[in-house]
Amino acid sequence: MRGKIAFEEHFNLSQFDKDTPKYVSELAMAEIRTRLLDVAETRLQDMDASGIAYSLLSLTAPGIQAVLDPQEAVTLARQANDALAEIVAASPARYGGMAALPLQDPRAAITELERCVTELGFPAVMVNGFTSTPDGDGAWYYDHERYLPFWEGVESLGVPLYLHPRNPLPANSGIYDGHPELTGAVWMFTVETATHALRLMTSGLFDRFPGLAIILGHLGETLTFTMWRIEHRLTYMGDLRKFSKPLGDYLRANFYVTTSGNHHTPALNNALTELGTGHVLFSTDYPFESMREAAEWFDNADISEADRRQIGRDNARRLFPAMPAHVGNLVPAARG
């Protein structure tokens, strides 16, 4: 399929490069770090070869979320967003931006998001997991009441928030001791992000702000597979519940999932069955995954052509109403 839109597509800036964790082997990570910094050559070539007409770029993890000093986080987020706006301005027909936010200071975060939406034209935000506390030993998850003004602002602005993984804190990683092969995207990311999403659901956040739209990558971090059992066992938890609906209702109403880094047709069909076609979208997870491999799988997956068009492009146009108007009239990229 030509003319696809993708939006778990990462980039980096030189000032953050030294802090990029090693997610894979040294050799593979060296190539990834090079591709993270490239927005003008190889990336565009891969987009052309993969039939991807437009990408929303986001600062790679952990990004701003790992900055310990709140004021520094505010400054760096602004710098990162300004740099991304320059990248977009240089290639507006191919790139858009997802805001990076200093959630160390929730009110500063919503101020920066307002600037990104109203001045820079970014149609969404990507948050790289929990935000580190100033001492580096703790984590702020976004179900905490300190974030209620932030969520109110996100709902008011009408922009989706992509909840992207990061590694848990070392203090929370004991289960992986002696098994480094399970860290990062192999398994650690999934457990961390799925748990964070469940915290949001069970906190009552979506009862308070029903207009929120949260995006999860990797076809939902396993939640479409496990939601029946989660709901089933929650019926035995009695008065511990802080939320008013079955969690599956929030998953289907407030969450969207992308195909980033999960190029498996049975998993795609499960997401389509559980969420409906309107809540599943194409993405690749470049450069941690191969853009061409993701597109080759998606273009040939055993789904209807109507679903392919909806997932590959049309859903993104609906989910990101602030996306520039020209994206709706893209000239599809030619196959390379």
In this structure, the strands spanning 124-128 and 161-164 are: parallel
Query: Which are the contacts of 232, defined by CB distance < 8 A and separation ≥ 6?
Result: none
Tell me the two tokens of residue 225: 């597979």
CA distance 86 to 92: 10
End-to-end CA distance of the chain: 13
Strand (E) or helix (H) holding 238: none
Angle 120-123-125 from CA coordinates, rounded to 5°: 95
Query: Which are the contacts of 98, defined by CB distance < 8 A and separation ≥ 6?
Result: 7, 56, 57, 58, 122, 123, 124, 125, 126, 162
- Is 285 one of the annotated active-site residues of the chain? yes
What's the length of the chain? 336
CA distance 8 to 241: 33
Question: Which phi and psi angles does 6 have, rounded to 5°?
Answer: -130, 145
Radius of gyration of the chain (CA): 19
Question: Which phi and psi angles does 95 have, rounded to 5°?
Answer: -125, 145
Judge residue 234's burial from the number of C-beta atoms within 10 Å of its C-beta, 0-12 exposed, 13-18 middle, 19 or more buried.
middle
Task: From the candidates 249, 285, 299, 302, give the one annotated as an active-site residue.
Answer: 285
Could you list the active site residues? Answer: 285
